[in-house]
Amino acid sequence: MEFSSLMIQENLNGWGPNSEPEQFQNMPYQPFNKSDKLGKVADWTGLTYQDRKLAHKYSSHFSSGAQYAYVMDEDEGFHVLDSGKMATKAGKSKMKLPQQRNNRQRGKMNLQLLTKNNRSSRNQTTQNRNTKWNRKGKFDHYKKKRDGNASVEVKSTWNLIEEMDYPRLSKLQLPNIGDGVDLYKAGALEYYDKSYDKTSTKNERKLKRIDRTFHTVTTTDDPIIRDLSRTHGNVYATDVIIATLMTATRSVYSWDIVVQKVQGKLFFDKRENSDFDLLTVNETSTEQYFDDESRNGINSPKNLAMEATFINHNFSQQVLKMNEEKYLFDNPNPFIEDDDMEVASVGYRYKKFKLGDNLDIIIRTEHDAVTYGPNNDLQFMSIKALNEWDSRYSGGIEWRQKLDVQRGAVLANELKNNSCKLAKWTVQALLAGSNQLKFGYVSRVNYKDSAHVILGTQQFKPKEFADQINLNMDNGWAILRCIIDSLMKLDDGKYLILKNPNKPLLLIYSIPDSTFEESDEDADAEENQEEK
């Protein structure tokens, strides 16, 4: 028999096939390694996991990921015969001496705590329940549970369509998404005042109150997006909404986004009169201390969010050369209704990103200012402010002592406590194409005072800062694409994306078309009630 020659495809750019099938192009994928363990071995003796050294030998690398977890369904003919624990031989305790010593010390501390509580009066019983004995021999407040209330009340008429868990979303990837194409530019930008780069703890500046209007117009109320929807794209949103979705796996607090599907096109909106635009404070912190006084005072979660938003708005305008030369885009600000209105420095870029075949998303992005680079080239900036409210409850790092000598430690502490907020700002800067990401460090004059001072500034390139905070844009685009694909399969209507307040889950509800829409009579009644 004649031996025919083999046809071998050589891939010079890597290993594997040279091309991928058309049905798998531009789709999110989940990386998988052959060495990853999918689950535990079947143990019929009960001895495999008793040895502490082998406790994690056979555990799954995907933790709580439900995509590889086997769940036994008794309705399919499988039944548990014996779920009782195996009997073990009784023997003497093999507790080591150091462990026994620790138990005796713990017993002494409990006795001391009990004695101190017994000495307290009945009026202090509630206060004693909220205290604990720490290693330094002092009383601290217990860590309060996070606010488990949802951002919106779920009605009985809403239908749950899909649940998306964080472990599954965090492993998705959608590479090769470009920087986007500009479709429309509008607004006016002021120049950054470089004298603020010399600000330090020894040369602090008072934070001023800048009386300017900040427009936070949602997607469907934007006249430019309405015009672009006739000829471009099939998904529309603002950069704040997109950044929230792309960094969803970092979020802890509950939030919600309204989605309207009209003629096969998706419009992502925020709810009217919601707290969506407020900046969170200490959202990702592992230590949450809120005593009874701070829950209703200046350090309550709601007041801290309003304070952080107030600081961010005023700082972003104070560091500019106000009432001087401006950089003008091709078109004026589309949200100015009165020529006498004093508006904030902002430049809008309406950009189109291609997420796949027949899937284009239009995003309204923003710049905060412009400046000249080292080569005298014009650069766009995104300006944000980090705020210190009480170092005792936010990591124990005082900015006035550490900021000038250990700025990296201050930023690392902020990244631990506000990982989601910093990731959102970085995504917004990357979407807009900003050349610089400027951070300001603003602190209270006194931890019980509402006056603030600027202690310093710090500058990064958005892409480099994204690498430092471990922000993967390929994963962010994949999360967004996964949500869009789920909504595209549904009929035209109104939907709600809700972050579960107590679990790492995204919930998609189908809601009636009249949800969140108030009549004029209801609006007038609310205004009259507020005036009273």
pLDDT tens-digit readout, 275-298 = 999 999 989 888 765 544 455 578
Q: Is the pLDDT of residue 506 over 90?
A: yes
Closest CA to 197 of 454, 413, 410: 454
Query: Residue 183: in which H helix or E strand, if any?
Result: strand 181-190
Which residues have CB under 8 Å from 220's CB, separation 6+? 226, 260, 267, 269
Q: Which two tokens stand for residue 410?
A: 């201050």
For 296-312, b/e burial (b = at least 16 CB within 10 A) is eebbebebbbebbbbbb
Closest CA to 144 of 266, 290, 259: 290
pLDDT tens-digit readout, 158-171 = 999 999 999 999 99
Instruction: State how beta strands 181-190 and 346-356 pair.
Output: antiparallel
Q: Is the pLDDT of residue 79 over 70?
A: no
Burial grade of 449 (CB within 10 A; 0-12, 13-18, 19 or more)? exposed
Cβ atoms of 504 and 169 within 8 Å: the answer is: no
pLDDT, position 521 = 45
Burial grade of 70 (CB within 10 A; 0-12, 13-18, 19 or more)? exposed
Cβ atoms of 49 and 42 within 8 Å: the answer is: no
Higher model confidence: residue 95 or residue 329?
329
Mean of the per-residue pLDDT values of the chain: 80
Q: Which two tokens stand for residue 480?
A: 């967004």
Burial grade of 505 (CB within 10 A; 0-12, 13-18, 19 or more)? middle
What gap in Å lies between CA 218 and CA 224, rounded to an integer? Answer: 12
What gap in Å lies between CA 302 and CA 281, rounded to an integer? Answer: 9
Residue 180's identity, in one-letter code, is: G
Per-residue pLDDT averaged across 483-499, rounded? 95
pTM over 0.85: no
Closest CA to 242 of 332, 355, 147, 368: 355
pLDDT tens-digit readout, 99-121 = 444 554 544 444 444 444 444 43
SS3 231: coil
Edge-to-edge order in the sheet of strand 378-388: 205-206, 452-460, 436-444, 378-388, 369-372
pLDDT tens-digit readout, 442-471 = 999 988 878 899 999 999 999 999 999 999
Helical segments of 232-368, H only: 239-246, 292-295, 301-318
